[in-house]
Structure 1
Amino acid sequence: MRVDSSHFPLVRLDYAPENADSTETVLADMSALLAREQPFVYIASGGFDQGEPDIDERRKVANWMKANKPAIVKLTKAHVHVAANDDEQRKAEEFSRFFENFWGYPMLIVGNAEEAEAKASELLR
């Protein structure tokens, strides 16, 4: 995954494997977002068919999340996920149930980038 905060408070997540940063880089980027102490929304697409991450990487993420949970819940308004077709939407809906339990903020599914930006703007008002 790659985190792009160049249009903060809209934060793009790129799940393309060829663009992936290390777990340490992603967590540092996410820590920098929290350090701003301003609400934001993640916008992403893809990412559900990339297999299971390494167990050590999962532990790093879980430990980071636990250490930062109050700020994550306070500042992250949502993860707005673009799913362009029925199959992607189904996978995203299934994943969203687990996502919110883990991260503490909702994963909302939309059909295109325009809907994602509109939903993000609504959440940030």
Structure 2
Amino acid sequence: MFIQDTQNFPVVKISYESTDGISLEENIARFEALLDRQQPFVLVGEGPTPTQQASHEERKFIATWVKQKRQDLAEFVKALVHIEADEQARLLMQKFANNYVKFAGYPMFVVTDQQQAQQIVRSVLKH
């Protein structure tokens, strides 16, 4: 996932592919800058996930970083909210979301539209 827009912090828009050509390392630096704020935030993504998998080296790099930052991730990232209108894609994403918290340290919610996403954002930021 790539940090796309932080202008509406604590709501942070993400994309599942690099939309501005940044490297994985640059994206991690963006993520760390968000964690360095030491304030709760929510990640919001929309639409299809990438069809191409990350390389083994990229997955290993990400997994190592997540392990190192797990405490901060659990404390400051209140949720990842994924908006998916397509029912079949939503069901597939929900299966992924069920195990996501074990990896990332924060929950993932899969919703059908922007309205549902905003309800979850408000709810998780309130707590």
TM-score by length of 1: 0.90
In angstroms, what is the RMSD of aligned CA positions? 1.6
**Partners of 2:99 and 2:54 in 1: CA distance:** 16
**Amino acid paired to 2:100:** F
In the alignment, which residue of structure 1 is the partner of 2:84? 83
Show CA shifts across 1:28-84 (max 9, x none): 111001000000000002343422201111111111111111010011111011010
Asked if structure 1 preserves the Cα contact closer than 8 Å seen for 2:2 and 2:18, the reply is no
Is the Cα contact below 8 Å between 1:81 and 1:109 reproduced in 2?
yes
TM-score w.r.t. the length of structure 2 is 0.89
SS at match of 1:109: strand
> Matched residue of 1:27: which SS?
helix
Identity %: 30
Residue in structure 1 matched with residue 94 of structure 2 by the alignment: 93
**1:105-120 alignment runs, 5 A limit:** 105-120=106-121
Which ranges in structure 1 are unaligned for 5 or more consecutive residues?
A: none
The 1:17–1:67 alpha-carbon spacing in structure 2 relative to 1, beyond 3 Å, is: closer
Kept after mapping to 1: 8 A contact 2:11/2:43: yes
Gaps of 5+ in 2: none
In structure 2, the partner of 1:2 is 2
What is residue 57 of structure 1 aligned with on the other side? 58
